[in-house]
Each structure stands twice: as structure tokens, then as C-alpha cells.
Structure 1
Amino acid sequence: MSFILNIETATKNCSVSIAKNGETVLCREIAEEGYSHAEKLHVFIEEVIEQSGITVQDLTAIAVSQGPGSYTGLRIGVSAAKGLCYALNIPLIAVNTLQTLASQAGVLDGKIIPMLDARRMEVYSEVFNPDLSVDRAIKAEIIDENSFSEYTEKVYFTGDCAEKCKTVLTKENFVFLEDIKYPSAAAMSKISFDKYQKSDTVDVAYFEPYYLKDFMITAPASKK
């Protein structure tokens, strides 16, 4: 029997779940504009463990969203996951944020394209088949009217880019699943359990989130 703690902090959604043998037992999450991850994450972790009727010693692994996504959000989630893995001496599992978002579509046909907002008309995207195998790798790309035009089957978009992209991506075979806005730790459960069974884990000491684009710090303007 395995209990895996799933942590998803790559977007505005601060999300934590407990899964038993790949099935979500309990999930706590909140999506706020102010990115309350630093305040909420450890509270949610304590709550899902206690309310699931287990202790931290019952955990067999920790799974964390590896990105792409918010630099600050990813750092908070990965730091918490690493700390628990060190303390409990259990493995760390890294889960592709976009795969989690794709899995929430639950469709059986066409292609699934999860997109996370980068800036302006840029998004982080990946193309999946309904079985969640990768059709096209992750990209940071500018969306225009020709984006994804090579796909003639039904295309399902998930993520927080619907509002800015649906006026540009207007082909008849494009469907925006607007209720699937952020990745959820509840959707990580099956993915993380599959990885756990295959011993697909990462080195706790050296693992770093996948930011996709280099984090940039803008120097303050010099005073004249």
C-alpha cells in the first residue's frame, strides 16, 4: 500500500492531495490572484495528512509539480517537497505540470493542448494524445491564428489562456475547456503512482524545477 503526497504550486492554484494507491483520498486547494502559496501550502499539507487519517510516517513518496510555471510558486513547492523527503527518507517524484493539466480534460479523441500563460500572447504549451503520451514537446510560443493549424482532428485546450487565445484560435475543430483552468494535485495522483511503481524518481539533492525560460531579474532603474 502506498500513500503519496502530491504538491502542485506551479500556477495560482495552491493544491495538495493525498493519494492511496493512485486514487485521490483528499485534496485541498485554493486559487488566488495574490499567490498565497507561502501561507497556505504547509497548512494544506498538515490538513490533508490529518484528515486522511494517516501520519507523515505513512507517506511512501512525495510528488511535486516540476513546471513549467511560476518561478516563485515552483520554488515554494519544490522546497517543501525536498524538505519532507529529506526528513522522512522517502523518494521524490517530479510530475510535468502540463501533463497534469492535460489529464484533467478526460477526453477519448483528438489532441489535448494544455497552455499556461507566460506573457502577452506567449504561452507554455505541449500537445498530448488522449492516453497522455506526448505528441509534441513543451514549448514557449507566441500564439497567432496559424498556431496548431496542422491538427485537423478535434483539439481540446485546457489552462488559463482561454480568455486571451480563443479570439485568435477560432478553427471549428478547436474546443476550449474553460472550466479546466489550473492544474490540480488531485489529478497528479494516478501519474505520480505510475511513476512510483516504475521507480521513476529524481535525486532529492539535485532536482530543480523546469522553468522552461530562464528566470530574469530586472535591475532597478538608476536614479538621475
Structure 2
Amino acid sequence: MLLALDLSTAHGSIAVVHGDDVLYQSSFQSERSHNAQVFAPLKEALAAAGNHLTGIVIGNGPGSYTGVRIAIAAAQGIALSRNIWCAAWCSLAGLDLDTPATYQIIGDARRQSFYLASIENGRLLPDLEIVSAEIAQKKASDCGIWYTTDPKAPLNLPVQIAKPDAAKLAKIVQSLPPDELAALIAQPLIPHYLAEAFITLPKRPLSTP
């Protein structure tokens, strides 16, 4: 039985999954206050699971850094208290609609850039691209159906807006082969960074005493 959380967008999602059965599912809208809104449904989810949880899955983005960090902190706290494992999976891999096995995602990567991603059978393909607005506009206009987890369509493109679904993320992870699941559990829980952190350097050297 798995508990799953995704707080990578303004739409929070929590679920408890056992095999094909979703024993609990809740969602909430929160622009910048996941920490204030997540604990009531999380308490309900834990009550629904009882003492039968074996692991926790969090969606690690890409998306809201703060939201993903809250999900990580909550998962680690619960996992430590219950002596169970926790693991991260790409939030883009489980959307709240009947998507095809393979689909494409576009999203705002900030600093006037956009990310283009492909999902295949519940997995993020490794060639995620960070591109300019011009390239994003051309690629997303030229081929296939595109989705976004942004609150509105990037660049006013005709893309479909979707939200990560915690229950779908849990089902993907529970279906992994045992060796792959073990390797995933061994990895640290970190947000999916689209780019290196941007650090502003001081214009003048700091004075020393």
C-alpha cells in the first residue's frame, strides 16, 4: 500500500493506493500555501491507510520548488516515523486525464525559456530540452497534442492543461520491477531541477576586517 503526494503545481494531490484500488484521494488548490493546506488531507490519507503503508511516492516536479520541498519533508517525516521507504517520480508522468502512452509536455522554465518533455509509458525520456520562446512556439505548433501543467497555456499555444495525479504516480511506481524499485528507493529525494541555481554575485568584493 502506497501513500502518494504531488505538490509540484498549485493543484495539490494526495492518494492512498493498494494495487488497482484507490483507497483515498484528495486534491486542493493552493497558490503559495501548500504547507497550510496539505496536512488535513494528509491526516485523512494516513487514517485511510492505517498501519498498512509500505512506502511513499512524491512527485518531484519539475514545478514549484517550495511545493516539492514540502512534499519531500512530509514524506521523509512519515517514512522515518513508520520505518517505511519513500521515493520520487517525475510529476509529468502521471496526469489527471486519460493520456496516451506517449505524450509531450511544454512548460515555463522561467528566464524567458521553456522546457519540452516527452513521456513514454509513465517515464520521462532523458532528452528534456530547455529552449527559447521561438523554438518552443515552433515545436509545439508543428506536431501532435501537447499538454502543460502550467496554470495557463505557455505562449498562448493551443495546448491542453493537465494536473499531476498522485494516484497515477503511485501506480507507476508500484508496477516497477523489484530491482528498479530498489534502485529508486536508494536515490535521495530531490526536486527535479530544470537548470542550475542562479546566483547573483556582489558587484564589489566583500571587505574583510
Distance in structure 2 (CA, Å) of the matches to 1:47 and 1:5: 11
The verdict on how the C-alpha distance between 1:70 and 1:203 changes in structure 2, with shifts beyond 3 A counting, is: same
Distance apart, 1:161 and its partner CA: 6.2
Residues 115-137 of structure 1, C-alpha deviations (whole Å, 9 max, x = no match): 333336533331124x3455562
| CA 1:141–1:4: 2 relative to 1, 3 Å | same
Query: Is it true that 1:211 corresponds to 2:193 in the alignment?
Result: yes
In structure 2, what is the equivalent of residue 188 of structure 1? 169
Structure 1 residue 141: Cα displacement: 2.8
CA contact under 8 A between 2:122 and 2:172: conserved in structure 1?
A: no
Distance 1:14 1:217 in 2: 29
Correspondence 1:149-188 to 2 at 5 A: 152=143, 154-160=144-150, 162-167=152-157, 176-178=159-161, 180=162, 182-188=163-169
Q: Report how far residue 14 of structure 1 moved.
A: 1.9
1:38 positional shift: 0.6
The yes-or-no answer on 1:146 pairing with 2:138 is: yes
The counterpart of 2:41, out of the listed 36, 39, 44, is: 44
1:20 equivalent in structure 2: 18
How far has the Cα of 1:79 moved from its partner? 0.9
Q: Alpha carbon RMSD of aligned pairs, Å?
A: 3.0
| Post-superposition CA distance 1:167-195 (Å, at most 9, x none) | 4xxxxxxx6223x2x21213223212113
8 Å CA contact retained: 2:14, 2:26: yes
CA contact (8 A) 1:124 1:139 kept: yes
Give the drift of 1:210.
1.9
Counterpart in the other structure of 2:61: 67
From 81, 98, 101, give the equivalent of 1:106: 98
Name the structure with the higher helix share. 2
Query: Aligned to 2:138, what secondary structure does the other structure show?
Result: coil
Q: Aligned partners of 1:45, 1:161: CA distance in 2, in Å? A: 24
Tell me by how many angstroms 1:39 deviates.
Answer: 1.0
Give TM-score, length-normalised by structure 1.
0.74
Q: Which whole-Å deviations, capped at 9, do the CAs of 1:25-77 have from their partners, x for residues lacking one?
A: 221111222x2211122221111232x3x31x210100011222211111111
5+ long unaligned stretches in structure 2: 203-209
Give identity over the alignment, percent: 23
Q: Is the 8 A contact 1:7 1:77 kept in 2?
A: yes
TM-score of the superposition, structure 2-length normalised?
0.78
